[in-house]
Structure 1
Amino acid sequence: MRSTLPAFNEVWQQQFRSGVLKQIQCFPPESTFLIGCSGGMDSMLLLHLMSCLCPEKIRAIYIDHQLQSVSADWGQFVSDQCAVLNIPCIVELVEVQAGNLEHQARTARYQAYLKHLKPNEILVLAHHQQDQAETLILRLLSGAGVHGLSAMKQVDVREQFTIWRPLLNLSREQICQWAAQLNVQNIHDPTNLDTHYDRAWCRHELWSVLQNRYPKMQQALSRTSYLMQDADEILQEVLQQDLALCGSATELDLKKLSPLSNARQRQLLSAWMKGQDTYRPSFEMVERVLHEVIDSKSDAQAALHWNQYYYVRYQQKLYRLSSAEYRAEKSQANTSAQVICFDFNNNIEVLSGQYIAETAKIGLSTKLLNKELNLLMRQGGEKIHLHGRMGAWPLKKAIQEAQIFPWQRYTIQILSIDNVMLGVFTPKGFWLAQSEYCEVGGWQPNLIS
């Protein structure tokens, strides 16, 4: 590692060395760095500084969103500058999907980063203090909570990769002066001046108004983001405790949820509904789950759809179901009768899962193996005499007693021969019916998946 940098003033030298160099040393020794470089002043300065500090551990990536005619030229500029500094450079073309342009461009950019990041490689971005303050303002105006107002972390450890923002405590003015002092070349993106975009509007319309009134606004907002990060960390600890108490990623126990305060219930539901997605549901959507689903009448089949999932209450639990799982009953409603044959060598697929024939102490007669058996959908009103129980009783009652979820009941199918019920396939396995075909040392279909 080089021990010197191009000359800059003593304050910046102390800030840079005590911050950036110390952070580099805190990362694992095998860490390398992928610098996201747009060609703008911030990222080009970062590129030059990193090339002085650890040239053997860095490479750069330029993401071409293909939204402007000159974007390829900018990619060439970044490549040329990297060549001068002897830094490997990737130019990656991405397709930006329709919708909110800023959001979709960011999504495409991070997908490209993820594509190229190597194991033990850290993504390094050039966000600075004004970026942080703008992010906090925009999230505040969108109604964000503690997590949103945490804005950007200097070291952001995520599930798939880590982001490092070494310039986050530097002001835009410091970066401009520093880049000029080091004669750092950069490009100018005209969209940064287009106030049609929220961030450009914040920077060029709102910023000066607020800063004229509050000259230290940028530093204050940056400090607020750090305080919110502390608050968010504490909140996450409480959320993890509440989630461990109340359930899992797919269900919540409402008996354990209800004693929590209203605030903790809302926060837990918000984080639980978010799951592995990027964004939490709105405050209004969480309130709807509370009032329309959780607080609905006990006999109601209330369900609320949000972000490709359905939220359904059954008895004293709240379930998070995929659209495919929730809607499967409708798609299978008209499944016609089938003929199936069992033997000891083949697996049989039915609606409730995959089964295999295995020997049992009490089971179906071996004479039924390799014979055509009828597989019928439940129509309602059927009765079943379960083996080992006294008398026949409604199949519906047996299903309720087994606590089979309403959205899974479409998978229940009846196995029969010559109008004699042999048993019932359910999500919880095969139920053997008492019949003339039961015998000691027979066989049964066993659920394997």
Structure 2
Amino acid sequence: MRSTLPAFNEVWQRQFRSSVLKQIQCFPPESTFLIGCSGGMDSMLLLHLMSDLFPKKIRAIYIDHQLQSISADWGQFVSDQCAVLNVPCIVEAVEVQEGNLEHQARNARYQGYSKHLKPHEILVLAHHQQDQAETLILRLLSGAGVHGLAAMKQLDVREQFTIWRPLLDISREQICQWAAQLDVQNIEDPTNLDTHYDRAWCRHELWPMLQKRYPKMQQALSRTSYLMQDAEDILLDVLQQDLIACGSATELDLTELSQLSTARQRQLLSVWMKGQDTYRPSFEMVERLLQEVIKSKSDAQAALHWNQFYYVRYQQKLFRLSAEEYLAEKNASHLSEQTIQLELGQKVDVLSGQYFPETAAIGLSALLLGKKLDLVMRQGGEKIHLYGRVGAWPLKKAIQEAQIFPWQRHRIQILSIDNVMLGVFTPKGFWLAHSEYCEVGGWQPNLIS
């Protein structure tokens, strides 16, 4: 793998090549690389270096955020430079959602990357040492904990894809010298000078002042991020043990959670709420979950909405529900009485799931098969005489005894004919009601999904 690139500093080039060759040893042999190119100096230098080190194994992608009228021209510039280097290039236009512009642009960018990444393809980004230091400063000012101060990892293995940052230990000054010596063409995004944005303010206002006082600040902050990454790895080991003891990705046992120290409770809730997302919730949001939901009165129906999920407590468990699941009751409020016909061996879909009518030791009369049966929503106040039990009792009590979650109860439907209750479809199966239609060798709907 002999380089054809000239060396403005043989020591730096030798160190960089040695570092890259060491890092790629952890990649599968079939790995290829997708380089994120903005057209700026950092990413264009990375493109040149990667095209020299790994010809035929790289592609480039330019994400057009469509925030500036000239952004499409920048995409064309990147494409033209890739053509010179014989590197395939993708230009992907994305829509940036409303909200914090820097945050939403980053989300849109990574969604664009995800769309084009192939199996065994690694996303390569041009973040460098000053980027790392700036990230740590900004996160420190936002009140981040260990996870935030760990900043960016050189090799970031995520659920969806892997990110590699081979320039992360190289200073901005080195990159500028190398790019100039290689005559790397690049563009300048004017927003990089707009101190309205936090990172531009940090780079142009705060950074010079701090560096004047602390000349080795960049290296020191970079070192701090690596120490925080070590601390985060240790913390994650503890959190994995706590999560196994307390529950799963969708629910936590509050009795088990209460056995942990306050600090471990807070950390576990933080990483549990994060789930598969990139960022953890704020300290304030975790405190709200503790105070408003976990410590609320036992009969309260408290819920906390954060990042498209709802967090609710039922008895001694805490649940993480998608907005679709939590709000399903409101969406189903328009449903009223309907009729269905059931046949042996024919699947039927109702609100509580998919059922398969089958013969049973005790069940409904075969005379009901093929007939129009009434299916109505539970209104409240109904009583049911469950087959095999003495007397009728409130359906509400049966639901509570079966521990059907409150946010699932809207899916309960009563099956009847001529105002005679035949049974109840629930998320935990079909409940046969005692009636004149029950017989030995009859049939029942069985819940299959």
TM-score range, shorter chain: over 0.9
Q: Could you give the per-residue CA deviations for residues 266-285 of structure 1, whole angstroms, max 9, x where no partner exists? A: 11111111212222221111
Root mean square deviation, CA, Å: 1.9
Distance 1:92 1:398, change over 3 A: closer
Distance 1:160 1:336, change over 3 A: closer
Match of 2:206 in 1: 206
Q: Could you give the per-residue CA deviations for residues 393-440 of structure 1, whole angstroms, max 9, x where no partner exists? A: 222222211111122222222222233222222111111122221111
Which amino acid in the other structure matches residue 124 of structure 1? V
Match of 1:276 in 2: 276
* C-alpha distance in 1 between matches for 2:95 and 2:328: 33
Distance 1:436 1:168, change over 3 A: same
Match of 1:310 in 2: 310
Tell me if structure 1 keeps the 8 A contact 2:345–2:358: no
Match of 1:28 in 2: 28
* C-alpha distance in 2 between matches for 1:280 and 1:224: 20
Match of 1:382 in 2: 382
Q: Could you give the per-residue CA deviations for residues 99-118 of structure 1, whole angstroms, max 9, x where no partner exists? A: 32222222222222222222
Match of 2:291 in 1: 291
Percent pairwise identity: 84
> What aligned pairs does 1:31-180 form with structure 2 within 5 A after superposition?
31-180=31-180
Tell me if structure 2 keeps the 8 A contact 1:2–1:54: no
Instruction: Name structure 1 gaps, 5 residues minimum.
Output: none
Distance 1:63 1:400, change over 3 A: closer
Distance 1:402 1:64, change over 3 A: closer
Q: Could you give the per-residue CA deviations for residues 281-320 of structure 1, whole angstroms, max 9, x where no partner exists? A: 2111111111111111122222222222221111111111
Tell me if structure 1 keeps the 8 A contact 2:246–2:253: yes
Distance 1:424 1:77, change over 3 A: closer
Match of 1:364 in 2: 364
* C-alpha distance in 1 between matches for 2:443 and 2:102: 61
Describe the SS at the equivalent of 1:374: strand
Match of 1:408 in 2: 408
Which amino acid in the other structure matches residue 357 of structure 2? A
Describe the SS at the equivalent of 1:56: coil
* C-alpha distance in 1 between matches for 2:416 and 2:299: 33
Tell me if structure 1 keeps the 8 A contact 2:373–2:417: yes
Deviates more, 1:101-110 or 1:63-72: 63-72
Match of 1:181 in 2: 181
Distance 1:26 1:243, change over 3 A: closer
* C-alpha distance in 1 between matches for 2:24 and 2:332: 57
Distance 1:11 1:305, change over 3 A: same
Tell me if structure 1 keeps the 8 A contact 2:359–2:443: yes
Tell me if structure 2 keeps the 8 A contact 1:337–1:377: yes
* C-alpha distance in 2 between matches for 1:75 and 1:369: 64
Distance 1:156 1:435, change over 3 A: same
Deviates more, 1:132-141 or 1:385-394: 385-394
Match of 1:240 in 2: 240
* C-alpha distance in 2 between matches for 1:157 and 1:331: 38
TM-score (norm 2): 0.94
Instruction: Name structure 2 gaps, 5 residues minimum.
Output: none
Q: Could you give the per-residue CA deviations for residues 182-201 of structure 1, whole angstroms, max 9, x where no partner exists? A: 22222222221111111111
Distance 1:424 1:97, change over 3 A: closer
Distance 1:349 1:50, change over 3 A: closer
Which amino acid in the other structure matches residue 324 of structure 1? E
Deviates more, 1:197-206 or 1:383-392: 383-392
Distance 1:79 1:330, change over 3 A: closer
* C-alpha distance in 2 between matches for 1:120 and 1:330: 43
Describe the SS at the equivalent of 2:24: helix
Deviates more, 1:417-426 or 1:431-440: 417-426
TM-score (norm 1): 0.94
Distance 1:326 1:133, change over 3 A: same
Describe the SS at the equivalent of 1:55: coil
Tell me if structure 1 keeps the 8 A contact 2:411–2:427: yes
Describe the SS at the equivalent of 1:67: coil
* 1:247 Cα deviation from its structure 2 partner: 0.9
Which amino acid in the other structure matches residue 377 of structure 1? M
Distance 1:405 1:134, change over 3 A: same
Match of 1:194 in 2: 194
